[in-house]
């Protein structure tokens, strides 16, 4: 294998921007808002926040620790600390990257198209044609366009491609989302949206299904359970403060999700479209909101453009990290050059997106399999790995950190609490997902 020096971020900020870029994406805006609507509003939000704190952040720190410590892509990193027996987990991570990006690219394609719609046509009537927009040759064409951009950035390398893109786009995304939230707050009738979003009805919280979805969302949103954060951390210098990084990444991710809710719900309620909220699924953002933008007229085109531009930006920086998992594994494991790896992996993933581009039900099942099986299962395996198998994760995680008093608590969480919760969730999530796959084939 060629031993070119490993690529690195040019600065700590570069890493944080890239990692926040990975975390903040369609998950925060599209997925978070439709799941919140589907599972009873605030109760879901509270549960999601608890899981992010108790499970998500420890697993995030675990991924960063393995990545930075090994300075290797996931497959090699797991082998480095765990021996050959752990190689298959790395392979599963790479497979998850393939699976997720294949349908993620399709949804990102919709956002690209909606952004262009804002400029060229306006949103009138768009909501009614969602089924045609979302499925078929057009959906594939936009998926392809989005994948070409993603491949282009990843082929550019860690510094010049990934870091540069994220450092420009992430601040922009924050500004856009904050602006949108302010605009939404000024709409007459927005209060009903806040009430729906923020009043907690705790009767919903204890269903297994809500728990599964909140856990799946916490992992998806933080890009956990498939080696994306591990890969990014592998380009870090040895002396960065990882706990601090985890908090920054987690805070930005939750913050943007929360803000997105402050955009979506007030807008929908202010425009009297609330009856559409409860029953909505994957299409929520792409049906209800365009309708709201159409009602707003000319302003709606501007607001709609900003909204979908923010989505495209978020989706792009996340897609980059998904592709980078596959690419870094190919560079380290097969000795490929970066360009070749990006092109071949990107091409294969684009093709894998064909079924998702042709059928919403396939896309929905892919999303369910990815989150509720791959990411949660990957998180479980990873917590066991760092909790039990790695020899001294505490010292490794502590390099560059100032205060190590609570590290034993972190390890206890990884050893007992995280696996217990994830096992409990998976006990329901796996049969549920199998049923969904069965239903797809019998339909
Ligand atoms: N976190 C991203 C989002 O919220 C999705 C993602 C999942 C990215 C897993 C990388 C790995 O959109």
| Residue closest to 232 by CA, chosen among 2, 66, 54, 27 | 66
310, containing H or E segment: helix 298-334
pLDDT for the residue numbered 4:
61
How many angstroms separate the alpha carbon of residue 376 from the centre of ligand 1? Answer: 13
> Which one has a higher pLDDT value, 80 or 36?
80
8 A C-beta contact, residue 212 and residue 432: yes
**In whole angstroms, how far apart are CA 122 and each of 141, 309, 422?**
20, 14, 44
State both tokens at 363. Answer: 């896309």
Q: Summarize pLDDT for 120-129 with one digit per residue, the tens.
A: 989 998 888 8
Res. 2: pLDDT tops 50: no
8 A C-beta contact, residue 197 and residue 258: no
Closest ligand 1 atom to Cα of 27: 4
Closest ligand 1 atom to Cα of 23: 1
Q: Summarize pLDDT for 140-167 with one digit per residue, the tens.
A: 999 999 999 999 999 999 999 999 999 9
Which of the four pLDDT bands, split at 50, 70 and 90, describes residue 263?
very high
pLDDT for the residue numbered 8:
96
102, containing H or E segment: helix 87-120
How many angstroms separate the alpha carbon of residue 224 from the centre of ligand 1? Answer: 8
| Residue closest to 143 by CA, chosen among 98, 113, 116, 99 | 113
**Number of residues that this document lists for the chain:** 443
* Residue identifier of the C-alpha nearest atom 4 of ligand 1: 27
Closest ligand 1 atom to Cα of 315: 12
Torsion of CA 236, 242, 247, 250, to 10 degrees: 50
pLDDT for the residue numbered 276:
67
Q: Summarize pLDDT for 279-301 with one digit per residue, the tens.
A: 556 677 888 889 889 988 889 99
Does 221 contact ligand 1 (Cβ within 6 A)? yes
Secondary structure of residue 156 in the 3-state scheme: coil
Q: Summarize pLDDT for 163-198 with one digit per residue, the tens.
A: 999 999 999 999 999 999 999 999 999 999 998 888
Q: Rounded mean pLDDT of the chain?
A: 93
Does 26 contact ligand 1 (Cβ within 6 A)? yes
Res. 417: pLDDT tops 90: yes
pLDDT for the residue numbered 1:
44
**In whole angstroms, how far apart are CA 62 and each of 38, 153, 380?**
31, 27, 11
8 A C-beta contact, residue 27 and residue 221: yes
Q: Summarize pLDDT for 83-102 with one digit per residue, the tens.
A: 999 999 999 999 999 999 99
Res. 278: pLDDT tops 70: no
How many angstroms separate the alpha carbon of residue 124 from the centre of ligand 1? Answer: 31
Q: How far apart are CA 412 and CA 170, in angstroms?
A: 34
């Amino acid at each position: 294998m060629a031993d070119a020096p490993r690529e690195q971020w040019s600065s700590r900020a570069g890493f944080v921007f890239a990692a926040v870029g990975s975390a903040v994406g369609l998950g925060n805006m599209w997925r978070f808002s439709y799941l919140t609507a589907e599972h009873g509003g605030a109760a879901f939000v509270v549960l999601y926040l608890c899981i992010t704190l108790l499970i998500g952040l420890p697993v995030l720190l675990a991924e960063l620790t393995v990545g930075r410590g090994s300075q290797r892509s996931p497959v090699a990193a797991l082998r480095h600390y765990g021996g050959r027996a752990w190689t298959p987990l790395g392979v599963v991570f790479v497979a998850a990257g393939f699976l997720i990006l294949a349908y993620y690219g399709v949804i990102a394609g919709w956002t690209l198209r909606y952004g262009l719609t804002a400029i060229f046509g306006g949103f009138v009537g768009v909501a009614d044609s969602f089924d045609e927009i979302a499925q078929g040759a057009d959906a594939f064409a936009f998926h392809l366009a989005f994948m070409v951009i993603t491949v282009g950035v990843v082929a550019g390398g860690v510094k010049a491609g990934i870091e540069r893109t994220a450092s420009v786009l992430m601040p922009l995304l924050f500004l856009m989302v904050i602006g949108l939230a302010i605009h939404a707050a000024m709409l007459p009738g927005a209060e009903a949206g806040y009430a729906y979003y923020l009043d907690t009805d705790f009767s919903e919280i204890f269903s297994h299904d809500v728990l599964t979805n909140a856990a799946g969302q916490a992992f998806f949103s933080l890009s956990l359970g498939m080696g994306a954060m591990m890969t990014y951390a592998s380009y870090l210098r040895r002396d960065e403060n990882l706990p601090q990084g985890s908090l920054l990444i987690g805070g930005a991710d939750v913050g943007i999700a929360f803000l997105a809710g402050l955009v979506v719900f007030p807008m929908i309620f202010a425009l009297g479209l609330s009856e559409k909220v409860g029953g909505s699924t994957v299409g929520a953002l792409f049906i209800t909101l365009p309708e709201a933008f159409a009602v707003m007229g000319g302003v709606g085109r501007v607001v709609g453009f900003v909204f979908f531009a923010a989505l495209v930006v978020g989706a792009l920086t996340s897609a980059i990290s998904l592709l980078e998992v596959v690419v870094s594994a190919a560079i380290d494991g097969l000795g490929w050059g970066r360009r070749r790896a990006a092109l071949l992996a990107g091409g294969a993933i684009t093709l894998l997106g064909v079924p998702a581009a042709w059928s919403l039900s396939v896309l929905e099942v892919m999303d369910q399999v990815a989150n509720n099986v791959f990411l949660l299962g990957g998180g479980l395996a990873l917590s066991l790995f760092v909790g039990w198998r790695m020899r001294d994760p505490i010292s490794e995680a502590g390099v560059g950190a100032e205060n190590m008093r609570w590290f034993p608590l972190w390890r206890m969480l990884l050893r007992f609490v995280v696996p217990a919760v994830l096992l409990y969730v998976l006990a329901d999530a796996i049969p549920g997902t199998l049923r969904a796959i069965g239903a797809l084939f019998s339909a």
